[in-house]
Structure 1
Amino acid sequence: MSPTTTDPEPIRVIVVDDQELFRRGLVMLLSAEQSIEVVGEAADGDEGATLAAASAPDVVLLDIRMPKRTGLEACQSIKQAVPSAKIIMLTVSDEEADLYEAVKSGASGYLLKDSSIEEVAQAVRVVADGQSLISPSMAVKLIDEFKQMSRPERNHVPGLRLTERELEVLRLVAKGLNNREIAKQLFISENTVKNHVRNILEKLQLHSRMEAVMYAVKEKLLDLP
Structure 2
Amino acid sequence: MRIALLKEPSLMRDILVHELKSLFPTIEFTAYGPEDQETLQNDYESITLLIIDLDTNMDESTIIDFYKSQNIKIAVWFSTLDNPDLFNLLKLNLNGYFFNGMEKEELTYAIQTIINGKRYVHPEINQIFLNDYSRLHNHAKPRPVGVLSKREWEVLELLTKGYKNQEIAKFLFITEKTVKIYVSSILRTLEVEDRTNAVLTAIRNKWFVL
- TM-score calculated relative to the size of structure 2: 0.62
Match for residue 111 of structure 2 among 113, 124, 137: 124
Q: Counterparts in 2 of 1:155-174, with a 5 A limit?
A: 163-164=147-148, 172=159
For the 8 Å contact 2:3–2:47, the answer to whether it is kept is: no
Report the Cα distance in structure 2 between the residues aligned to 1:41 and 1:162, rounded to whole angstroms: 52
For the 8 Å contact 1:16–1:48, the answer to whether it is kept is: no
Structure 2 residue matching 1:30: 3-state secondary structure: helix
Structure 2 residue matching 1:32: 3-state secondary structure: helix
Match for residue 147 of structure 1 among 122, 134, 139: 134
For the 8 Å contact 1:27–1:38, the answer to whether it is kept is: no
Task: Give the corresponding residue for 1:54.
Answer: 45
The residue type paired with residue 53 of structure 1 is Y
Q: Counterparts in 2 of 1:92-111, with a 5 A limit?
A: 92-107=79-94, 108-111=96-99
Task: Give the corresponding residue for 2:69.
Answer: 80
Query: What is the deviation of 1:27?
Result: 1.6
For the 8 Å contact 1:18–1:66, the answer to whether it is kept is: yes
Report the Cα distance in structure 2 between the residues aligned to 1:27 and 1:103, rounded to whole angstroms: 25
Query: What is the deviation of 1:76?
Result: 4.2
- TM-score calculated relative to the size of structure 1: 0.59
Structure 2 residue matching 1:220: 3-state secondary structure: coil
Structure 1 residue matching 2:23: 3-state secondary structure: coil
Query: What is the deviation of 1:187?
Result: 2.3
| Structure number with larger C-alpha Rg | 2
- Is the aligned partner of 1:187 residue 2:180? yes
Query: What is the deviation of 1:64?
Result: 1.2
Structure 1 residue matching 2:107: 3-state secondary structure: helix
Query: What is the deviation of 1:66?
Result: 2.6
Report the Cα distance in structure 2 between the residues aligned to 1:194 and 1:126, rounded to whole angstroms: 21
Report the Cα distance in structure 2 between the residues aligned to 1:224 and 1:73, rounded to whole angstroms: 36
Residue 18 and residue 49 in structure 1: after superposition, are their counterparts in 2 closer, same or farther (change >3 A)?
same
Query: What is the deviation of 1:93?
Result: 1.9
Report the Cα distance in structure 1 between the residues aligned to 2:132 and 2:146, rounded to whole angstroms: 23
For the 8 Å contact 1:76–1:105, the answer to whether it is kept is: no
Structure 1 residue matching 2:203: 3-state secondary structure: helix
Report the Cα distance in structure 2 between the residues aligned to 1:76 and 1:209, rounded to whole angstroms: 29
Residue 19 and residue 213 in structure 1: after superposition, are their counterparts in 2 closer, same or farther (change >3 A)?
farther
Query: What is the deviation of 1:90?
Result: 2.0
Report the Cα distance in structure 1 between the residues aligned to 2:147 and 2:43, rounded to whole angstroms: 38
Task: Give the corresponding residue for 1:133.
Answer: 121
Structure 1 gaps, min length 5: 1-10, 153-160, 178-182, 202-207
Query: What is the deviation of 1:116?
Result: 4.6
Report the Cα distance in structure 1 between the residues aligned to 2:45 and 2:31, rounded to whole angstroms: 12
Residue 144 and residue 63 in structure 1: after superposition, are their counterparts in 2 closer, same or farther (change >3 A)?
same
Task: Give the corresponding residue for 1:69.
Answer: 59
Task: Give the corresponding residue for 1:204.
Answer: none
